Each structure stands twice: as C-alpha cells, then as structure tokens.
Chain A
Amino acid sequence: MPPALRIAGLTKTFPGPPVIQAVAGMDLEVATGEIFALLGPNGAGKTTTVGVCTTRVRATSGVVEVGGRDVRRDEALVKRGIGVVPQHNTLDRACTVEENLYFHCRYFGFSAAAARARTAELLARFHLADRASGMAAALSGGLAQRVQIARALAHRPGMLFLDEPTAGLDPQSRLALWEVVRGLREEGVTVLLTTHYMEEADRLSDRLAIMDHGRILVQGTPAELKRRVGAESVIELVLERPDPGLVEAARALPGVRTVQPTATGLRVFAASRDGLLPRLVELAVPAGLQDVAVHEPTLETVFIQLTGRDLRD
C-alpha cells in the first residue's frame, strides 16, 4: 500500500517580486492513519507545502503523491480523497451553515438525499444544529473553525489537512479541536497539520517534522526528537550583565552538554542536574543573576538547539 502522503524533492519558488523560495528541497512520507505535524515558525514553508499537497499551489520541482496519486496529474482524484481546512475562514458567506455543508456534499457528487442526510449528521456531531440556519458570515472564530472542519470531513476523505488549525482560537476551542483530531485517529483518517505551537505538535502528533526556511531540519516522534537534545534538563539563567566569559566557564562544569548565550543571559543544556545548579548559581551571581528556570527539553528546545532561535522569532 502506498503511503498516505509522499513528498520527494519538493521545491517551490514564488516568482515575486520579491522572489521567495518557500520550499527548498523537501522529502517526507506520512503513513496511513498517522497524525503528522509540520512544526515551524511563520514563513517556514508549512502552508506552501500544504498548498502543493492539496493542489492549490503548483510545485516548482519534485513529486507529491497523495494515496499514490500524483497531485498534478490526477488533480481531480486527489481532491476527491482529501479534506482541507485552510488557515483562514473560507466559508461561503452568502450561504447558511447548513448550506455550506449541504453544497459541499453536492460539490463532491452526493445526491440531494445523501447530502441532506450527511449534513444533518455533521450538524449533530459538531454541535451546530442550533446554528444551522445562521449565515456563515456571522460566526465567531471558534464556531467558524468547527464548521470548516465539519465541511472538510463531509465527503469522508481518507486524509485531512489542517493548516494552523488553532491559530487565533480561544483556549477552549483549541482543546475542543484537539479532541476532534484525536477522534479522527480512531476513524483511521490520516491527518497532516501545521502549527507553530510546539505544545500542539507534542500533544497531538504521532510523528512530526520541524521546518525552517523551507527545509525539514529533523523528523521523528516527539519523544525521539526530545531525546536528540541529549540533555535531561535545560537551565535558563537571566543575568543583569551577560558576560561572554561566562559561557566558557559554564561549559567547563561537570554535567554540562552545551551552553548558548541568549538575549537575556545563558541557556545551559545539562546531561545531569546533580549538584550542577548551586555551582551555576555561584558562577552567575557576579554577573547579576536575576532568575533561574529549570525545565525538561521540549520541542522548542529542539528547535532552539537546531537553529539558535526561538520558534516565535
């Protein structure tokens, strides 16, 4: 059986001006039934990648296959098998919530009766029944997102693409969306989601790839990637007077893997914490130590280690 999604040697350059190379050589396979996350900062090329996979962006070079079908050659067949929730609200503003679902079913060749039945089913499942006759233009962000997901699933696609699904959502709507995505796993729907929230990628995905500047830096399960950091703890020191000499001194301490200077002080990756903290504090007090924070490696740590930047930068 072919993988749900296969990307080989993908590049995409927007002619501009200015010329932008959004994807700069990318290889990826997503297995059927997997929840896969593309994690990276804004401008990493995640949305462009999703655009190519969903036929809305034409690749400059490379091959993309969904369910073994080429997105360019078998455009219509690929579209039949995928559901897409774009980053922005693209609901049909001239139609009601119910009509958005009903006509979507019709666009996928459902008969009138089948479309009506499926619409009723989706309205119930996504708790939209009391909004059915409301115009789509009047929905709040969280509700609109729910309708968009219901619409994307209406034709029972084997693979769902979610582009930044929780950007701009309130915490409650975000949790509700995570529940929906987990529910899809039970149904065997393959999910590719993009996000710049490391927590979202960590909690939701079976596997993920970290992207930056149009390339995949690393991919694996969340646990694998965090193990890669090779550190048990990450210690952040906030200093009043950051001193370059401190980096070398900290690096020489036993148990320290690497040390990075940050905008506000130092970040220390430690293989073990035993006895390290007091010695670090001792070292940092002359530089005006203001605060110390200790945490386990996160996907953010992985990104920082790979790029030297924060995800939010």
Chain B
Amino acid sequence: MTSAYLGPLWGMVLRDLRVLRRSFLPLITRTVMNPLLFVFVFTYVFPMIGSGFQPGAMGVSYATVVVPGLVAVGMVFTGISAVALPLAMELGGTREIEDRILAPVPVALVALQKLVMGAVQGVIAGLVVFPLVALIPATPVEIRVASWPLLVAVVLLASLTAGALGLAIGTVVRPQQIGLMFAVVVVPITFLGCVYYPWALLHPIRWLQVLVLINPLVYMSEGLRAALTPDLPHMPTWAFLGALTLATLALGTIGVRAFIRRTIS
C-alpha cells in the first residue's frame, strides 16, 4: 500500500514545482536581497571607504565570518517564504489545500510533502546565496571544506529544519498574523541566529549565549561554519547535528499535528 502513496505525493511535488516556476523570480529576489545587501554594505562598501568597522578579529576578514551565517539565513528565509506563506493562504480563507487532503494518501503525508519541498528549496537557496556572499566582498574570503560528508549532512539537516520551521509557522499562524509573525519570529531569529558572529564569541554576554540556544538558526549557522570555515570557532559537531535533528523532529511534529488539526475537524 505504501508504494501506492508515491504516485499521488509525486503529483503534489510536480504541482509545487509548477507553481514555483511561475513565481521563481520573486522568490529568488526575496531570498537574495537580504544577504546581497548585507555583504555589499559590510564587506564591500565599508572596506572600500576605509571605515573603521572591522569586526573580523580572529585573523580573518569579516566577510569570511558571515558567509556560513548568510547561507543559513537564506535557507531559513526560504523555508518560511516558500512553505509558510503559501500554506497559510491555502489553509486559510480559500481552503485550496482541500483537493490534496482528498487525495488517496494519509493527511500527515501531505504535510510532510510540504516539509520536503521546503527543504529542497532551502538547498537551492543555499546554493544561490553562497556564490554571492563568497564573491562580492572586497576583502578575501577564506572557505575551506574540511569534510564533504559533514557539509552534505549539515546542508541536508539544515534544509529539513528550515522546511519544518516553515511547516510549523504556516500551520500555526493565521494569514492575518503573517505581518506580525515577521516581526516577532523572523527578525529575532535572524538577528540572534549567530549569523554575524560565531556563537563562542557571545561568551561575555552569558545569558544571551544560553538564550539563543532555543533558536534553530544558531545550529544551522554553526554547522555551516564548521563545514565551510573550520578554522573559526564553532560548536562541536555532535551539538549542532543533534540539535538540528531534534529541531527537525520537534518542528515537524508540531507542523504535522497542526496541519491535521487545521484540515480535519
């Protein structure tokens, strides 16, 4: 019976890809704008105008410090804009999701299909953001992949976490609260996600260093830091791999449960 679910689920993937193709440019623009402007101002404009702003203390340029974090932000942002926003609409007023709820598969799998699509788009977002943040800076960017398997594992887990976060937000938040969600969820997650500084450097502000551990983006940034800039301080491998697995499971469970609650009364 399980194999009978594959055809319908593949149909849903094809549907999402068709819709994605139609909105590809806006989506890429949204994904790219934030990291593009950030690297442009902080790693190109500032060094060129001789500003004293040079937070890249640890013997490398600041551009090197922010590359992994900005890739992680791109992935999280895509998870939210590619899964949460459309899902909130489909579940809300129009109930467009209904035709897929009535497809001959368990409803939980329809939710998981959304999560996986979000993860796939997260990987694409990472691949799009990476060359931007690595090539634009005026100062040298030192990227060194210490272990390809580690990089693949981090990218996979981080994108699944992004998809699960998108699913959870899209099913829990109502369409009319989307604007508020950006202010209270997206902005804090990105600013306090160890994107612009390694987690270890938060040491002088101990309470903040502990508090940010509830933020899944911290582990995505730190994981990519370990994989792309292994010479900079980063969390131990077991910590970010474990935390990303946990975050995927926890957010995925919340998302699937809320999805079922929203579609089946």
**Residues of A that sit less than 8 Å from B by CB:** 14, 51, 54-58, 75-77, 79-80, 82, 84, 86, 88-95, 99-100, 103-110, 151
Contact = CB atoms under 8 A, between A and B. Distances in A.
B107 to A, nearest CB: 8
Given A75-B106, A99-B18, A106 B96 contact: no
B264 A76 contact: no
Interface of B: 1, 4-5, 7-8, 10-12, 14-15, 18-19, 22, 86, 94-96, 98-106, 263-265
B94 A151 contact: no
Contacts of A105: 11
Contacts of A151: 99
Given A56-B264, A92-B96, A79 B19 contact: no
Given A77-B104, A108-B104, A93 B94 contact: yes
A90 B95 contact: yes
Contacts, number: 88
Nearest to A75: B106
Given A103-B14, A106-B15, A79 B103 contact: yes
A109 B7 CA distance: 5
B118 to A, nearest CB: 16
A105 B103 CA distance: 9
B184 to A, nearest CB: 27
Contacts of A77: 104
B19 A94 contact: yes
Contacts of B103: 79, 107-108
Contacts of A94: 19, 22, 86, 96
B265 A58 contact: yes
A88 B86 CA distance: 19
30 contacts: A55-B264, A56-B98, A57-B264, A76-B1, A79-B105, A82-B102, A90-B95, A90-B96, A90-B98, A91-B96, A92-B99, A93-B96, A94-B19, A94-B22, A94-B86, A95-B18, A95-B19, A99-B15, A100-B99, A103-B11, A103-B14, A105-B11, A106-B8, A107-B11, A107-B104, A108-B8, A108-B11, A108-B104, A109-B8, A109-B11
A95 B105 contact: no
A226 B102 CA distance: 37
A57 to B, nearest CB: 5
Contacts of B95: 86, 88, 90
Given A57-B265, A108-B103, A92 B1 contact: no
Contacts of B101: 56
Nearest to B22: A94
Contacts of A80: 104
B94 A90 contact: yes
A76 B104 contact: yes
Top 5 A-B residue pairs of the complex, sorted by shortest distance between their CB atoms:
A106-B11, A109-B7, A107-B103, A80-B104, A90-B98
B99 A106 contact: no
A249 B223 CA distance: 91
A104 B104 CA distance: 11
A10 B136 CA distance: 65
Contacts of B15: 92, 95, 99, 103, 106
Contact of B99 (A58, A88, A90): A90
A94 B85 CA distance: 13
A163 to B, nearest CB: 11
The CB with the most chain B CB atoms within 10 A, among A89, A100, A103, A151, is that of A103
Given A58-B265, A76-B1, A79-B104, A107 B12 contact: yes
A145 to B, nearest CB: 15
A54 to B, nearest CB: 7
B82 to A, nearest CB: 13
Contacts of A89: 94
A59 to B, nearest CB: 11
A90 B95 CA distance: 6
A160 to B, nearest CB: 12
The CB with the most chain B CB atoms within 10 A, among A75, A76, A99, is that of A76
Nearest to A80: B104
Contacts of A100: 99
Given A58-B265, A90-B95, A110-B7, 18 more contacts: A76-B1, A79-B102, A79-B103, A79-B104, A86-B95, A90-B96, A90-B99, A93-B94, A94-B19, A94-B86, A94-B96, A95-B15, A106-B11, A106-B12, A108-B11, A109-B8, A109-B104, A151-B99
